[in-house]
Structure 1
Amino acid sequence: MSDPYEIALGVLNSKYGMSHPVKIAVVERAAVLPGTMQQPITGNFDFEHFKRFTN
């Protein structure tokens, strides 16, 4: 059975239409980084922190 979201071996379809995993990683990091710099992610990232987002 084939995966309809896999466009190349081990590469999922992305909104950028790319199939090279390294190029996709570079583009996705560039797209996400400005947002995280403007609003940094805060927290202890311990079990209590995790539970707040999963309950």
Structure 2
Amino acid sequence: TQLLIAQKEEAGIQLQAEEYDLTAAAADLDEIEEVNANCILMANLQQASS
């Protein structure tokens, strides 16, 4: 019974770590998309001003 409880706890910790990794990856993706949007905006502004 103790072993089963320990295994469940370990699985829970592993799941939390995977969820954290996914959250971090999603935040990175949001940041990349924002940088891309800024680059497109700057290119459009440069084109409009020339």
One fold, TM greater than 0.5? Answer: no
> Normalising by structure 1, what TM-score?
0.31
Greater helix share, 1 or 2? Answer: 2
Length-normalised TM-score, structure 2: 0.33
Ranked by relative contact order (alpha carbons within 8 Å, sequence separation 6 or more), the top structure is 1
Normalized per residue, which structure has more strand? Answer: 1
Larger Rg: 2
